[in-house]
Chains A and B, each alone.
Chain A
Amino acid sequence: MKKVLMGNHAAALAAKLARVQVAVGYPITPQTQAYEMLAEMKAKGEFPGEFIAAESEHSVMAAILGAATAGARTFTATSSQGLAYMHELLHWVAGSRLPAVMVDVNRALAAPWNLWTDQSDSLSQRDTGWMQFYCSTNQEVLDTVLMSYKIAERVMLPAMVVLDGFTLSHSYEPVDVPEQSEVDAFLPPYKPEVVLDYKNPVGFGALVGPKEYLRLRRRMAADMAEAESVIEEVGREFGAAFGRRYGQLDAYRCADARTILVTSGAVGSTARAAVDALREQGLKAGNLRMRSFRPFPAKALREFVRPGMRLAVVDRNYSPGAGGIWAQEIKAALYPRSRASVHGYVAGLGGGDITVELLQEVWKRVDSANASVPVAETWVEDAR
């Protein structure tokens, strides 16, 4: 059934459709409506799971650790400082190999205070062991939450579904909301192997030595690698069930393009408009939208890239002392086998507009650049 939903509501509705057993929340802009909608659905009896209104994000993720170890399917949503405050528990949940799913609404990290979209919150959690998926529409938010449970429960790693603050979280878009029976057919109940149960008194998370620790992390690496194909597989299954297919990458008009705008999140929609505009000018532009950040889709990217290709990577984030994070990771994934060049552009930090015009300019700059010149990152702002 088609509904007009804001991104936050698409997220909360997806949690309900996934038959989440324990939802935990805490308010933070711009995620708050997801939390409020869960509370409202619980109050109205529409959400049969347990709902915990925690007193901080640290406790939100701790409660998820407890609930998931007890064997429940869990959900929460957060943003920015809230995600940063969870950091310790993000490692704990991933290390415990719990398939929790969380929505992060991108918002810049302080100081100074800023409320608007920026990937510095989610990308700074890149080493926690959570998978990360970036969405470009509210439909994709709903779909990705549903797919995330299936992926997470298959590889036993938690997943973060990321959407842009305000641009998606507060924007109303038409969303095709599947029937509960359709979701049930796609997503079976979560059946964990071992849970907290007095009939089987085992301990979780006790001290291990270096040898065991290394082996556990090696297994995590293997499961992350496995996730690359599981994401593709579940994306195909989702496509077969609902008619919308997803993968790690989403290429738009790239077949004959030499210079590609590489984007993530809601900028993807803008980039498509920019590509269309460039094509109308007779220019062979394309857009590659990165859907997965963890596991990093290195293999898929190497398959996509052709020699001589120029990648104009737009980063709405910045790692001080290193550069735009997507650009870094793409360079690392392509080195040394690819003869493509990677051109980093940092734009739209703290919620600045990344417009169709700006993206066209970035594309033209990269397309006309001397590709043999080593590319430093370039900071750009909207002309308005």
Chain B
Amino acid sequence: MKTSIPVEERMSAGHLACQGCGATMSMRYALKGLGEKTVFVIPACCWTVLAGPAPKSALDLPVLHSPFASAAATATGVKAGLTARGDRETTVVAWAGDGGTFDIGLQALSGAADRNEDIIYVCYDNEAYMNTGVQRSGGTPEGAWTMSTPGKAGSARPKKDLDAIVLAHHPAYFATATPAYAEDMTRKFAKARTIKGFRFLRILSPCPPGWKTDPKDSAKVSRLAVQTGLFRLYEVENGRMRLNMPVANRKPVGEYLRLQGRFKGLSAEAEAAIQASVDKIWNEGKS
């Protein structure tokens, strides 16, 4: 049977994710791209819980659970340990949330990227500490409600530009992805697997309880993030950036924002400012 992404499933049903979880969609596509010879390191994040308690696992590959701040460093050690034992074919993946990447794990991430460790680091970015019940992280966008940024105005600071931080380390491969574009995501993981050195993927990962979206809208909101130009699908290889999904007629950002209860308090001015910042980025891209 012909399918747009590989049929083989390495993420099993029965996991503990919320309905419509973007992090499980992303994991499913990632594993389809990565294949069998893969080891995962998972620091504290939603996936710690939703992979299931011992002695069960929703992932049909080896997993090492690690402390919050240490995904990249633990993966570094796994790669070294495998190499020392003569295994040079296994792909080592660190799979962390935005809290574990933008915030508490940033030092370890920077260290591993700087050393050009031969690992793939994945940040599934659901834009807040969702596992602990929606608190602001460095990945939370301006204006978004969280439990630690209550009130109408939401988070006061713009989202940290993690892509720029990672790219400043000259990674061997860099890509963004989001589950609405499953084929694109699967292809990027399959490609990352073939490259040596430090590889990084950031996935915009919808979270129905944290974004206050209807679970049925997880693919839709992910798609709108791209179609409005708020989230750009791109790759960087050898320092050259390639836009994967140039959006000719961008939809207004309001279509993305209004699907999400977390932006309910956003004023018209704030929305206009977001639109202006998106327009500015895309216009810069043209020149």
C-alpha spacing A208/B55, complex, angstroms: 8
Instruction: Determine whether the beta carbon of A66 is less than 8 Å from that of B69.
Output: no
Instruction: Determine whether the beta carbon of A63 is less than 8 Å from that of B77.
Output: yes
Residues of B within 8 A of A207 (CB): 48-49, 52-54
C-alpha spacing A66/B111, complex, angstroms: 15
Instruction: Determine whether the beta carbon of B73 is less than 8 Å from that of A59.
Output: yes
- A residues 51-107 touching B (CB-CB < 8 Å): 52-56, 58-60, 62-72, 74, 88-89, 92
- Asked whether A206 is an interface residue with its Cβ less than 8 Å from the other chain, the reply is yes
Instruction: Determine whether the beta carbon of A62 is less than 8 Å from that of B74.
Output: yes
- Asked whether A49 is an interface residue with its Cβ less than 8 Å from the other chain, the reply is yes
Instruction: Determine whether the beta carbon of A205 is less than 8 Å from that of B65.
Output: yes
Instruction: Indicate the size class of the contact surface on chain B.
Output: 35 or more
Q: Mark A133-153, 1 if CB is under 8 A from B, else 0.
A: 000000000000000000000
Q: Mark A35-60, 1 if CB is under 8 A from B, else 0.
A: 00000000000000110111110111
Give the A-B contact count at a CB cut-off of 8 A: 168
Q: A198-B62, A203-B65 are in contact. Are A66 and B54 (CB under 8 A)?
A: no
Most buried by A among B38, B48, B76, B114: B76
C-alpha spacing A60/B108, complex, angstroms: 10
C-alpha spacing A22/B81, complex, angstroms: 6
Q: A203-B54, A205-B64, A212-B54 are in contact. Are A58 and B85 (CB under 8 A)?
A: no
Q: Which residue of B lies closest to A26 (CB)?
A: B111
Q: Which residue of B lies closest to A48 (CB)?
A: B84
Instruction: Determine whether the beta carbon of A22 is less than 8 Å from that of B108.
Output: no
- Asked whether B61 is an interface residue with its Cβ less than 8 Å from the other chain, the reply is yes
Q: Which residue of B lies closest to A56 (CB)?
A: B107
Residues of A within 8 A of B111 (CB): 54-56, 59
C-alpha spacing A64/B66, complex, angstroms: 11
Q: Which residue of A lies closest to B119 (CB)?
A: A66
Q: Mark A182-215, 1 if CB is under 8 A from B, else 0.
A: 0000000000000111101111111111001000
Instruction: Determine whether the beta carbon of A70 is less than 8 Å from that of B67.
Output: no
C-alpha spacing A347/B61, complex, angstroms: 53
Q: Which residue of B lies closest to A24 (CB)?
A: B77
Q: Mark A202-240, 1 if CB is under 8 A from B, else 0.
A: 111111110010000000000000000000000000000
- A residues 98-123 touching B (CB-CB < 8 Å): none
- Asked whether B146 is an interface residue with its Cβ less than 8 Å from the other chain, the reply is no
Q: Mark B85-100, 1 if CB is under 8 A from A, else 0.
A: 1010010000000000
- Asked whether A8 is an interface residue with its Cβ less than 8 Å from the other chain, the reply is no
Instruction: Determine whether the beta carbon of A72 is less than 8 Å from that of B70.
Output: no
- Asked whether B172 is an interface residue with its Cβ less than 8 Å from the other chain, the reply is no
Chain A residues with a Cβ closer than 8 Å to the other chain, count: 43
Most buried by A among B63, B66, B77, B115: B77
Instruction: Determine whether the beta carbon of A21 is less than 8 Å from that of B85.
Output: yes
Closest CB in chain A relative to B103 CB, distance in Å = 14
Most buried by B among A49, A68, A197: A197
Closest CB in chain B relative to A215 CB, distance in Å = 12
Instruction: Determine whether the beta carbon of A198 is less than 8 Å from that of B36.
Output: yes
Q: Which residue of B lies closest to A23 (CB)?
A: B80
Instruction: Determine whether the beta carbon of B84 is less than 8 Å from that of A67.
Output: yes
Q: A62-B74, A63-B76, A67-B77 are in contact. Are A49 and B84 (CB under 8 A)?
A: yes
Instruction: Determine whether the beta carbon of B51 is less than 8 Å from that of A206.
Output: yes
Most buried by B among A22, A70, A72, A212: A70
Q: A70-B82, A71-B81, A207-B48 are in contact. Are A202 and B62 (CB under 8 A)?
A: yes
Residue from B53, B61, B80, B110 in contact with A66 in the complex, judged by beta carbons closer than 8 Å: B80
- Asked whether B148 is an interface residue with its Cβ less than 8 Å from the other chain, the reply is no
- B residues 137-194 touching A (CB-CB < 8 Å): none
C-alpha spacing A204/B77, complex, angstroms: 15
C-alpha spacing A53/B41, complex, angstroms: 20
Instruction: Determine whether the beta carbon of A67 is less than 8 Å from that of B54.
Output: no
Instruction: Determine whether the beta carbon of B64 is less than 8 Å from that of A204.
Output: yes
8 A-B pairs in the complex with CB atoms less than 8 angstroms apart: A50-B83, A52-B80, A59-B76, A65-B77, A70-B77, A198-B90, A203-B51, A205-B64
Chain B interface residues (CB < 8 Å from chain A): 36-39, 41, 48-49, 51-57, 59-67, 69-70, 72-85, 87, 90, 107-108, 110-111, 114-115
Instruction: Enumerate the 5 nearest inter-chain pairs by beta-carbon distance, A residue then B residue, closest first.
Output: A66-B77, A70-B81, A55-B111, A63-B77, A59-B73
